């Protein structure tokens, strides 16, 4: 452009010349707001003693033990890597040397989960060349009730793996194989089950034409999964796999499940064709406006985990409110991005991008209000969050403060996450009475190891209350702190 004097003046590019800038900024604002909101909620939940032993206490003690070169995790009664193949713990170890703890784990999960909107945005933009549609799908991911429930459940490794998996998929589409390998390895290091999703991603890559890379990826992922299930877990867990109890009705062990599948397929098939499965699928698909159905192949990435979720003996694996739905949610997110891309290409003449953006966003808003635990959701005040401090918060903190840092402790499940930075911490009535400890109660430990008991008396049932009273009245422990809600007892001097 020339001025009146004949000189050229360089004009900065306008927003109109950078069509992705405003949609990208809009998504960034939503991501930042999401991080701020859920970071506050998870911090309050732990501070107000609403975090519990399974699984906040497990993960926090596991990282603390690794940071102190120890391996036996007493909350669960297993070796750290006899529980799950969560090598990702090591990423937190240096920060635990600096004083990290539950807040670090929980806020990190919030930040990593929110950043999952970025690869979603990039994938949709790549497939459709419509930045605002990409923003709509990215925002819908953040509005998904399942993702929000995962935050309320606090730190879980497979939830942290969602974003690396989304990044790995995007890199595979772009054929950025170095970055793909980095993100795939980062995803798999959080839990053994994730390897099955990566294996299917490898097969999908092979079908797209990159056969060698795809088959190598699939083979490596299957080998990793098999090594943990068939060798490492049995080696660490006295010949067993720690979650076999979830599958006792269909064979229990990995070999037993396979035998049941081959000899009594109806016992497994009946668990896959239930109203629970229909409701589960609806709750996963509806927040994206059912667009995932336009890309059914991508949905297969979550099929292994969904299969294992539905053949268990327990109800909590068959709902979107727990971390078991993390990999199915990842698959639905990818399939929704691909489905939107398919629909834009299929109906290019009619340019459906604006209609799709509105439809996906409306679906996300309606479902996040109806089913979600966010501040705009109907389930915000249903107990997922510790919204009220409670009159006894000071008493709970005083009870915990009584315990020396290096003492062996047995505590009620809701006190555990505030005491896990030590070598020995048991969920009362462990170790006197084995309960969710080890595998079938193995290995059993002596109650003589325990020096302190910290109890929220409101969570006692009749048998644990009787045990606590026996330990106190028999003279084995002296009560050093007591009110209507909390009690702390110290082992009596011999």
Every domain of the chain and the residues it spans: 21-50+101-242+290-307+318-371, 393-491
Does residue 353 surpass a pLDDT of 70? yes
Query: For 231-286, what is each residue's pLDDT tens digit?
Result: 999 999 988 888 888 998 898 877 888 888 888 888 888 888 899 999 999 999 99
- How would you write 15-50 as a 3-class SS string? HHHCCCHHHHHHHHHHHHHHHHHHHHHHHHHHHCCC
- Calculate the dihedral angle through the C-alpha atoms of 95, 235, 182, 154, rounding to the nearest 10 degrees: -50
Residues 323, 334: Cα–Cα separation, whole Å: 18
Tens digit of each residue's pLDDT (9 = 90 or more) over 79-131: 999 999 999 999 999 999 999 999 999 999 999 999 999 999 999 999 999 99
CB neighbour list of residue 28: distance below 8 Å, 6 or more residues apart: none
Q: Which residues of 17-56 are buried (b: 16+ CB within 10 A; e: fewer)?
A: eeebeebbebbeebbeebbebbbebbbebbbbbbbbbebb
pLDDT score recorded for residue 2: 45
- Whether the Cβ atoms of residue 441 and residue 423 lie closer than 8 Å to each other: no
Q: pLDDT digit string (tens) for 403-460? A: 999 999 999 999 999 999 999 999 999 999 999 999 877 778 999 999 999 999 999 9
pLDDT attached to residue 17:
52
Q: Write down the pLDDT at residue 358.
A: 96
Which whole number is the average pLDDT over 58-80? Answer: 97
Strand-pairing partners, residue 482, are 487
Q: Give just the sign of the alpha carbon dihedral 80, 86, 91, 96.
A: negative
Residue 369, pLDDT score:
98
Name the β-bridge partners of 481. Answer: 488
Residue keyed to tokens 């170790």: 431
CB atoms closer than 10 angstroms to residue 298: 23
pLDDT exceeds cutoff 80 at 1 = no
- The string of DSSP codes covering 249-293 is GGTSSHHHHHHHHHH-HHHHHHHHSSHHHHHHHHHHHGGGTTGGG
Give Cα separations from 20 to 16, 339, 353 (angstroms): 9, 21, 15
Q: Is the pLDDT of residue 62 over 50?
A: yes
Got the DSSP string for 336-367? HHHHHHHHHHHTGGG--HHHHHHHHHHHHHHH
pLDDT number for residue 4: 46
212: helix, coil or strand? helix
Q: In percent, how much of the chain has pLDDT > 70?
A: 96
- Give the phi and the psi of residue 482 in degrees, each rounded to 5: -160, 135
The confidence score (pLDDT) of residue 391 equals 85
- Computed over every residue of the chain, the mean pLDDT equals 94
Span 337-349, pLDDT tens digits: 999 999 999 987 7
Beta bridge partners of 72: 79
For 391, the token pair is 């009159």
């Amino acid at each position: 452009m020339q001025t009146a004097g004949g000189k050229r003046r360089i004009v900065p590019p306008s927003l109109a010349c950078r069509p992705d800038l405003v949609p990208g900024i809009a998504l960034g604002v939503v991501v930042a707001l999401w991080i701020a909101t859920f970071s506050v909620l998870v911090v309050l939940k732990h501070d107000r003693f609403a975090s519990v032993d399974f699984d906040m206490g497990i993960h926090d003690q596991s990282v603390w033990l690794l940071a102190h070169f120890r391996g036996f995790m007493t909350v669960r009664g297993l070796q750290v890597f006899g529980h799950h193949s969560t090598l990702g713990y090591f990423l937190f170890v240096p920060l635990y040397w600096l004083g990290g703890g539950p807040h670090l784990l929980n806020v990190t999960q919030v930040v990593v989960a929110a950043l999952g909107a970025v690869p979603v945005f990039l994938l949709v933009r790549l497939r459709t060349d419509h930045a605002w549609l990409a923003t709509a799908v990215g925002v819908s991911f953040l509005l998904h009730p399942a993702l929000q429930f995962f935050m309320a459940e606090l730190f879980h490794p497979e939830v942290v793996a969602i974003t690396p998996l989304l990044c790995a998929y995007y890199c595979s589409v772009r054929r950025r194989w170095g970055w793909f390998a980095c993100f795939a390895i980062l995803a798999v290091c959080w839990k053994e089950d994730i390897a099955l999703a990566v294996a299917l991603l490898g097969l999908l890559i092979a079908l797209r034409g990159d056969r060698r890379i795809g088959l190598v990826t699939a083979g490596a992922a299957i080998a990793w999964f098999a090594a943990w299930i068939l060798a490492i877990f049995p080696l660490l867990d006295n010949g067993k796999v720690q979650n076999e109890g979830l599958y006792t009705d269909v064979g229990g062990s990995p070999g037993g499940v396979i035998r049941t599948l081959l000899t009594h397929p109806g016992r497994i098939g009946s668990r896959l064709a239930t109203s629970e499965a229909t409701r589960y699928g609806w709750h996963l698909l509806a927040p994206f406006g059912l667009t995932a159905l336009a890309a059914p192949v991508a949905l297969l990435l979550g099929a292994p985990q969904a299969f294992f979720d539905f053949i268990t003996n327990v109800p909590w694996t068959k709902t979107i409110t727990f971390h078991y739905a993390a990999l199915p949610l990842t698959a639905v997110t990818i399939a929704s991005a691909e489905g939107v891309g398919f629909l834009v290409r299929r109906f290019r003449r009619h340019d459906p991008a604006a209609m799709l953006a509105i439809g996906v966003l409306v679906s996300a808003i309606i479902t996040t209000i109806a089913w979600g635990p966010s501040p705009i959701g109907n389930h915000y005040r249903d107990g997922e969050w510790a919204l009220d401090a409670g009159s006894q918060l000071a008493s709970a903190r005083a009870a915990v403060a009584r315990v020396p840092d290096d003492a062996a402790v047995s505590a009620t499940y809701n006190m555990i996450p505030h005491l896990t930075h030590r070598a020995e911490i048991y969920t009362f009535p462990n170790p006197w009475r084995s309960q969710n400890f080890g595998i079938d109660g193995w290995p059993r430990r002596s109650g003589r190891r325990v020096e302190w008991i910290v109890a929220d008396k409101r969570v006692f049932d009749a048998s644990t209350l009787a045990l606590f009273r026996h330990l106190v009245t028999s003279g084995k422990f002296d009560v050093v702190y007591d009110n209507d809600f909390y009690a702390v007892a110290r082992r009596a001097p011999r």
